Structure 1
Amino acid sequence: MVTPRPPCPTVGTLVYGRFGPNSMLYPYRRGEVVPNTYCERVFTDCKLQSCFVQSPGYPRNLHCKYYLNTRMPFIKLYIENEEFNVDGQRCENPMMCPMKPLSTNCDCDYIRVYDGKNKDAPLIGTFCGMGRFPHSIIGSGQDVMVEFISSPAGPFLNTGFHFNVGNWPGHVETSGSRNGTCDWVFSSDTVDRGQESTFLSLAHWYPPGTSCSYLIRGRPDEVVRMYFPSFRVRPIEAPIRPYDGDCGETLIIYDADREDDARIMKMFCDTFSRPLEKHDFISTGSAMFVKFESRTGSYDGSSLYYWAQYDFFNNTHYGKPVEDTVCDEVFESFVRPEGKFGSPLNTLLYKTEENVVCRYHFKAPRYQYRRILLTINSTNFKENEDPLQ
């Protein structure tokens, strides 16, 4: 049998007006008061230790709003060396009153955090209780709004909150087109051959069930290479929805332009995968598909931190490639009676310590052709002065 929670109290005692700990030491760090309001404040261009978001002591029947802004994404809200206490105790005797741990199940006093400038923005979470905030909250942009609501009456054992504001240095410009929050398409049309481009893991909050995709698409005669200059795997430290099983978050690389279980190149999981840095993943076709999924969601970014770089290589074949070889080709007269051939244009083939050997086979029926004529137009062998040897 579940015991129902007691209703919010309807009587109160003396009201104390107090702005957080030692507020007189930093009067200019608590934002600008919105005219004709009691506790609405605006914080602009917040930097490290320059913006302190504090509850006004603990008066009753309050509705406060704090509008937070940083110059750069991703705005970060966090508690440092203080405890959070909003509706942590609901009676007057501090010795006998049970403590309510930090929770998102709130019905009397609470704060709400929105990922944007106002209540029309996505709701990141609702919080109440007492204890150390177990995580920071990182917004997806430069603005966050915090809303503090206290019930009309109640005890005065609670002390409120004191947040710091900064930003998380995880923003890079990405040369691609985005659909929704995190579905990206990267094309070789926007990346010069021989140049690399980058994408990163989610550095901000996201809800449970989040799915992000990265489609890297080259021209028909190209292949895709992707590697991770930096990759870290850590436990899921700030889940929005707890999950006890394996693989609460995954990253899967496909040798295809969509999800295809038969063409998985690699799967990473938060519970058992080792990070893999500076390993080349090379597609066999002109596209590669990468998908990130999270069962838990997160308040402060992905447990799979990856910095991925990708580029495109000319994989033109003059003849028909021979399976299970590096660069062998077959030229058959019934396909094309004349044409050209040359050394591989894909420079990835030469990034190996082993010798690269390419064989070219020319085939024609004896009853139709008596000889095959080859004309060598140009050669350039770096380590051999005699081009005919």
Structure 2
Amino acid sequence: MAPEYRLYSGRRLVLPLLALLAVLLQVTSECDRTFVSRVGGPQNGTFTAPSFLNPEGHSRQCIYTFLAGPHQRVELIFTSFSLRGTPPECIHEYMDVYAEVQQPEASELINSPFGGRYCGPIPPRRRISLYKALALGFYTDRNATTPDLFTGRYAFINDTEYEVGTPVPNTPCSYTVHASSKRQGVIVSPTYPGTYPKDLTCTYQFLGSPTQRVRLEFRDFDLFFGGAHCPFDYVKVYDGRDNGSAVIGTYCGQQRNLVIYSSEASLFVSFFTIQRTANTQNRGFKGIFEFSESFVKLDFIGKNDGEHIRGSECDQQILSKKKSSGYVFSPNYPFPYLPKIVCRYFIYGMQDSQHLERVRLEFMKFKIPKGGERGDCTDGYLKVYLKGQEATDSYDKFDHELCGDDDSNPKVVVSDGPRLVMVFSSGEVQGQGFKAKYTFETDYKIPGTAAPDGSCIFTYRSSSRKKGEFNSPRYPSNYPSETNCTYLFLGTPNEQVTLVFDHFKVRADSANATFGSYGGTCQEDWLEMYNMYRDGTEKLIGRYCGTTAPGPVESNRGAIGVKILLHSDQEGVFSGFKARYTFEIAKSIFGDCGSNVSSLEHGEIRSPNFPLNYDSPAKGLASKTCNWYINVRPKYKILLNFEVFAVEGDPANRGCPAAVVRLWHRANEPPVELCGEKAPTEKWQYMSDGSSVRLSFISADKSVGAQGFRAVWTEVKEGPDCDQFKCEKSSYCIADTLRCNKVANCGADDRSDELNCLVEAPVDSFMLMGVVLCVAGALVLGICIWCHRKRRRRRRHLARLHRGGSSAAGSSHSRQLGNSRRQHVCDELGERFASVDSV
């Protein structure tokens, strides 16, 4: 595709030129026009399209030639334009422009650079001839033309403005400017403000005296923009005599407020345009230059590590040499500075994967007079930028605006990041200026009170702040290698500090990925936590690495605080950690729900609400803590067996950031941290090496709850001799009283203490109730039957007595009455159950 395009582009140039030559050989005065500048004649005028008939529709070519006089050039402006066709084809009607004609003869147009072909309603932009001649070639195959096809005006202008200095021989637009002959003047592109030519190179060399500097100000700048690196048309400025000097800058596109100063007495400018077939119509540039001894002397920059920023009047850049320091001064210090100057100071600390610095600026002397009746900084001032505002050109958003004397301004300012920028404007009233000391300090990006010596030590006191955040250096970016940072959390005597980790990722190549990254498995980078005591002793809480976040930590009752150490080696690094701290009134030694257990042979410990889920801390509190202290007789140990365990967390993948169980069962060793969920087939049991154990359960404010745990502890006798019960598998020696107590006191996989026990048959309560009811019913039924039979016998006996005679009636009646008075309870029951037949 590219070769075809180049072939087509070449044809577009060659064919019209051949056609133009053919027409020129048969030139007719019918439509050609020539406009010549003559002494005393008109120096401007108008032109229009030719008017003729062409009934056969033959191709017609008309040449308009404009010839300027000595020290003149031609300026051409189209005021209307309406030719057939659509760019870039322009087949039936078009206008060719030649602005680089060296010889006025029409036959020489074929050798002149082609300035572009135009058709449609958009006219060519203003044109100014590079030499004394300019030509237009109008082509049409229209049957008839009228003057309104295009109109314009021309002028013969003075070319003095384009002679910037002494012309360089055999070049169309290169000049040398000597300060001895021209201290100030105008610099313009060769055909400004007309469209500049293609395939052109112009140079401008400015040479001053040894005490001078050169100032170049572009007031209009319009070049074709091909990208940030200006690969096509550009202006390149060199800080010296020629193009072998240091480059100040390369410019293209549209520029505003472009002012350039030389560092010394010379400046070299190169203007370059490429050969192209596309019609670009940028106008070039126009500016002014000046040689002067009054520009700022740059010796005040070189007193320390400052480096003049090429192209500026007095801007300087200071780069850190790793924790370096030095001084900055106002221009001409300690003598009064010059009026109406602006100098910028760019003080940059180190910022890479290994280093991050901030800038500390301390003013030693300061005297910039206040201006105006209000005594404010409306005249001279020093603006300080601490947050890198210059990166977005936000110079209106300064952090400090300083003027006056030493007492009315801050003594020290510190950057928020690696960059500090100052802008000094002298105004109209002179003053002594300022002297300041800069120091590059390592910036760890850690909130807290930093150590005065700049080391990575940060202190958090409850007297200053009750709660807050802390993090690894540069979080969330990676912490640096070969770094040791210390975090000190110090409370009052009646306070405890709680630490909760929200993010944790510390490099651990050799850590155990199955059981989490704790203790000795952390060899490369790690974080350690300690309880600190008043006697200077410290007790390790734990060492952590990988993604195994520490569980919530609450300082011990009696400790003055907690210390954290972060260590990194020489190898790779990760993002580190982010955590929170809270100082609260000290709790009981048992925390919120613990206890002291002693004088027992075994027991059971349960998490709060077990078997229901444990709850979060009360609103406003950082944690909820339960501490159990188990103590047995001397020469006995403690076996602790977790039968059920479900605490939120995952030791292998994310640690125990929300809730944790810690077990202190070995003297002089940090506790074991537990979280996650125990499978029914897993065995989680621990044997103490002494007669005491501490078990702690802590849930943070971000916990969501889980079932918790149930643990059984048992007193185990030390030594090989056992005068009590010896477990079969574990060989533990436990009390005889623990046999057949329905608790597995021998351990997770040994139930020998519960074997060969008398097993009481389980009683069915419903069956027992049925039996009791049946027996009671049978008993009542038996009594009723017995009473009923006795009553029948009594009645039969009375009947026999009645039949025995009337003589005995009285006595029998009296006996009956007596018997009736002594009626047994069975008589009453018999009456109630009279309907019950005997069995």
Deviation, structure 1 residue 43: 2.1
Q: Deviations over 1:129-185 (max 9, x none)?
A: 4322152332224432223345xxx55387684231224878415332234122221
Check 1:140–1:252 CA distance in 2 against 1; reply closer, same or farther (3 A cut): same
Check 1:168–1:227 CA distance in 2 against 1; reply closer, same or farther (3 A cut): farther
Q: Which amino acid aligns with 1:136?
A: R
Check 1:69–1:303 CA distance in 2 against 1; reply closer, same or farther (3 A cut): closer
1:118 and 2:105 correspond: yes
1:190 pairs with one of 170, 181, 186: 181
Deviation, structure 1 residue 323: 7.7
1:274 pairs with one of 253, 256, 262: 256
Q: Does the 8 Å contact 2:195/2:284 carry over to 1? A: no
1:224 pairs with one of 210, 213, 222: 213
1:213 and 2:203 correspond: yes
The residue number in structure 1 matching 2:821 is none
What are the within-5 Å matches in structure 2 for residues 141-180 of structure 1? Answer: 141-150=131-140, 156=143, 161-167=149-155, 171=159, 172=161, 173-179=163-169, 180=171
SS in 1 for 2:256: coil
The residue number in structure 1 matching 2:290 is 310
Q: Does the 8 Å contact 1:73/1:167 carry over to 2? A: no
Q: Does the 8 Å contact 1:114/1:144 carry over to 2? A: yes
What are the within-5 Å matches in structure 2 for residues 18-167 of structure 1? Answer: 37-45=29-37, 50-57=45-52, 59=54, 60-69=58-67, 73-83=72-82, 85=83, 88=84, 100-103=85-88, 110-115=94-99, 116=101, 117-119=104-106, 120=108, 122-127=112-117, 129-150=119-140, 156=143, 161-167=149-155
Q: Which amino acid aligns with 2:32?
A: E
Q: Does the 8 Å contact 1:43/1:51 carry over to 2? A: no
The residue number in structure 1 matching 2:302 is 324
Q: Which amino acid aligns with 2:287?
A: W
Q: Which amino acid aligns with 1:65?
A: I
1:288 and 2:267 correspond: yes
Q: Deviations over 1:168-207 (max 9, x none)?
A: 878415332234122221123433xxx4233223314443
Partner Cα separation in structure 2 for residue 101 and residue 208 of structure 1 = 23
Q: Does the 8 Å contact 1:186/1:215 carry over to 2? A: yes
Partner Cα separation in structure 2 for residue 178 and residue 138 of structure 1 = 21
Check 1:251–1:125 CA distance in 2 against 1; reply closer, same or farther (3 A cut): closer
Q: Which moved more, 1:115-124 or 1:179-188?
A: 115-124
Deviation, structure 1 residue 218: 3.0
1:255 pairs with one of 236, 239, 262: 239
Check 1:208–1:40 CA distance in 2 against 1; reply closer, same or farther (3 A cut): closer
Check 1:170–1:260 CA distance in 2 against 1; reply closer, same or farther (3 A cut): farther
Q: Does the 8 Å contact 2:118/2:124 carry over to 1? A: no
Q: Does the 8 Å contact 1:112/1:123 carry over to 2? A: no
Q: Does the 8 Å contact 1:53/1:66 carry over to 2? A: no
Deviation, structure 1 residue 101: 0.6
Where in structure 2 are there 5+ consecutive unaligned residues? 9-26, 305-331, 342-425, 434-839
The residue number in structure 2 matching 1:181 is 172
Q: Does the 8 Å contact 1:256/1:289 carry over to 2? A: yes
- Structure with greater strand share of residues: 2
What is the Cα-based RMSD across aligned positions, in Å? 4.4
Q: Which amino acid aligns with 1:269?
A: C
SS in 1 for 2:134: strand
Larger RCO, structure (CA 8 Å, separation 6 or more): 1
Check 1:302–1:74 CA distance in 2 against 1; reply closer, same or farther (3 A cut): farther
Q: Does the 8 Å contact 2:174/2:204 carry over to 1? A: yes
Q: Does the 8 Å contact 2:223/2:233 carry over to 1? A: no
Q: Which amino acid aligns with 2:173?
A: C
Q: How many residues matched?
A: 267
Check 1:292–1:207 CA distance in 2 against 1; reply closer, same or farther (3 A cut): same
Q: Does the 8 Å contact 2:125/2:281 carry over to 1? A: no
Deviation, structure 1 residue 307: 1.4
Deviation, structure 1 residue 214: 0.9
Q: Does the 8 Å contact 2:214/2:291 carry over to 1? A: yes
Partner Cα separation in structure 1 for residue 135 and residue 124 of structure 2 = 20
Check 1:224–1:198 CA distance in 2 against 1; reply closer, same or farther (3 A cut): farther
Q: Does the 8 Å contact 1:112/1:146 carry over to 2? A: yes
Check 1:108–1:126 CA distance in 2 against 1; reply closer, same or farther (3 A cut): farther
Partner Cα separation in structure 2 for residue 207 and residue 224 of structure 1 = 31
- Structure with greater helix share of residues: 2
In percent, how many aligned pairs have the same letter?
Answer: 14
Rg: which structure is higher? 2
Q: Deviations over 1:316-344 (max 9, x none)?
A: x9xxx898149xxxxxxxxxxxxxxxxx9
Deviation, structure 1 residue 254: 1.5
Check 1:294–1:125 CA distance in 2 against 1; reply closer, same or farther (3 A cut): closer
Q: Deviations over 1:269-315 (max 9, x none)?
A: 315x4332xx461332x321112223477989755522121225499
- Normalising by structure 1, we get a TM-score of 0.54
Check 1:234–1:216 CA distance in 2 against 1; reply closer, same or farther (3 A cut): closer
Partner Cα separation in structure 2 for residue 309 and residue 217 of structure 1 = 11
